[in-house]
Each structure stands twice: as C-alpha cells, then as structure tokens.
C-alpha cells in the first residue's frame, strides 16, 4: 500500500485531526506566529547542517525533514482555516512562474 496522498487528501486528513478538538484551528495571527516559529526551527537545522554556527551540545538535534514537516503542517492548518485549497494555490503560483517569469532564468537547453 502506498503512502502517497494528494494535497487535498492531506488537507482533509489534517482537518479530521484538528476537527476532533473543541479548540479547532488557531486564529490567523496565532497561525502566523506558529509559521514564524517553525521557519526559525527549520533555519536553525539548516544552519546546523550547512552553516558555520553549529548547535550547542545542550540543543536537541532534529532533522531538516522533521522541521519541514512541522512547517508544512502549520501551512496546511492555515490554508484549512482560511478555506484555501493548497493544490489550487500552488498551481496558480506555478502558472505565474511559467508565464511572468518564463524568460527570467537561463534554461539548461540554452547553455552552450
């Protein structure tokens, strides 16, 4: 059995999880604060792995994958709370890059 889920299925799964609690989704400003917190934790892990400022021995070691998962969970919560389908939002952004920014970068097939 495959673990692959669509973005819509992931949003539904998160919604079922959050829906079992009376508190429901956090308000928008709280979700934004949570996003900021998770970005900070991801930044710290990237710095630990690739940067010059390594963690202290007292700091726990997480993985970039784990921190991306935490960040994505909060993004899905934010989208669900706002009634936004992430698959549609992402497709709109991809379309924007494919049209507005189509000539912005050097394509591999154009390199000589």
| Separation CA 54–CA 56 (nearest Å) | 7
What's the pLDDT tens digit per position in 62-97?
789 999 999 999 999 999 999 999 999 999 999 999
Is residue 9 within 8 Å of residue 63, measured between CB atoms? no
pLDDT tens by residue, 14-61: 999 999 999 999 999 999 999 999 999 999 999 988 988 777 777 777
**CATH code 1.10.287.1080 for 7-100:** yes
End-to-end CA distance of the chain: 45
Q: Quick one: DSSP state of residue 96?
A: H
């Amino acid at each position: 059995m495959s673990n692959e889920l669509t973005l819509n299925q992931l949003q539904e799964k998160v919604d079922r999880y959050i829906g079992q609690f009376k508190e429901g989704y956090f308000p928008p400003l709280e979700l934004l604060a949570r996003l900021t917190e998770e970005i900070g934790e991801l930044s710290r892990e990237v710095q630990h792995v690739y940067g010059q400022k390594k963690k202290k021995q007292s700091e726990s070691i997480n993985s970039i994958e784990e921190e991306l998962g935490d960040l994505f969970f909060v993004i899905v919560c934010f989208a669900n709370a706002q009634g936004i389908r992430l698959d549609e939002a992402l497709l709109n952004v991809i379309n924007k890059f494919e049209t507005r920014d189509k000539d912005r970068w050097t394509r591999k097939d154009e390199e000589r």
